[in-house]
């Protein structure tokens, strides 16, 4: 029950923080799960007036929950993710997190997180199948994600 309560508080905090960013004009788009996005729009409409979320340039892009190959939710509330803040996750731990990606998940994560041509990702995955002990696809994933995230 305590874990569920903490998860609910975390979700509430994410929604209210992102809603505050919208209201202050700090951002105009939120990417996330449908429930959090919808809650944010409801709060914006209550604070700013009906339809403010639609008329004032607030946009949303919804995504599916990211899951592991076992179907477990992937994220900080599930305890199996990293933080972008280097005070909470060191640069080395951040790199190693992606380096430890399971073979079953590396192709999916490369296609989701790396800004690489699909042909390059496919080549890395084929190489992984030939020489899995070299973990070349995982090294590529760790490198590419670290290049995108300022630390």
Q: What is the CATH number of the domain that holds 116?
A: 1.10.240.10
User: Do residue 106 and residue 57 come from a single domain?
Assistant: no
CB 107 within 8 A of CB 147: no
Predicted pLDDT at 138: 97
C-alpha closest to that of 56 among 32, 29, 82, 37: 29
Predicted pLDDT at 144: 94
Predicted pLDDT at 25: 58
CB 110 within 8 A of CB 137: yes
User: Do residue 39 and residue 94 come from a single domain?
Assistant: no
Predicted pLDDT at 23: 57
- Give the pLDDT of the chain (151 residues) as one tens digit per residue: 444 444 444 555 555 555 555 556 556 666 677 777 777 777 766 766 665 445 456 677 777 777 777 787 776 666 667 887 888 888 899 999 999 999 989 999 999 889 999 999 999 999 999 999 999 999 999 999 999 886 6
| Residue 41 included in any domain | yes
| Residue 11 included in any domain | yes
Q: d(Cα 125, Cα 119) in Å, to the nearest integer?
A: 10
Local structure of residue 73 (DSSP, 8 states): B
Strands (E), the chain: 29-32, 59-62
Number of domains in the chain: 2
User: Do residue 48 and residue 87 come from a single domain?
Assistant: no
Q: Residue 132 belongs to what domain range?
A: 82-148
C-alpha closest to that of 75 among 22, 21, 149, 6: 6
Predicted pLDDT at 19: 56
Predicted pLDDT at 149: 81
User: Do residue 46 and residue 95 come from a single domain?
Assistant: no
């Amino acid at each position: 029950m305590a874990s569920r309560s903490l998860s609910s508080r975390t979700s509430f905090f994410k929604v209210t923080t992102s809603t505050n960013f919208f209201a202050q004009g700090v951002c105009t788009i939120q990417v996330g799960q449908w429930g959090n996005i919808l809650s944010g729009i409801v709060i914006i409409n209550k604070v700013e007036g009906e339809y403010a979320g639609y008329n004032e340039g607030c946009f949303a892009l919804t995504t599916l929950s990211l899951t592991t190959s076992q179907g477990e939710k992937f994220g900080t509330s599930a305890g199996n993710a990293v933080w972008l803040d280097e005070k909470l996750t060191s640069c080395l731990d951040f790199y190693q997190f992606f380096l430890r990606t399971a073979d079953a998940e590396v192709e999916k994560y490369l296609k989701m997180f790396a800004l690489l041509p699909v042909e390059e990702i496919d080549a890395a995955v084929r190489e992984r199948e030939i020489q899995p002990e070299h973990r070349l696809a995982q090294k590529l994933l760790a490198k590419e994600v670290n290049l995108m995230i300022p630390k």
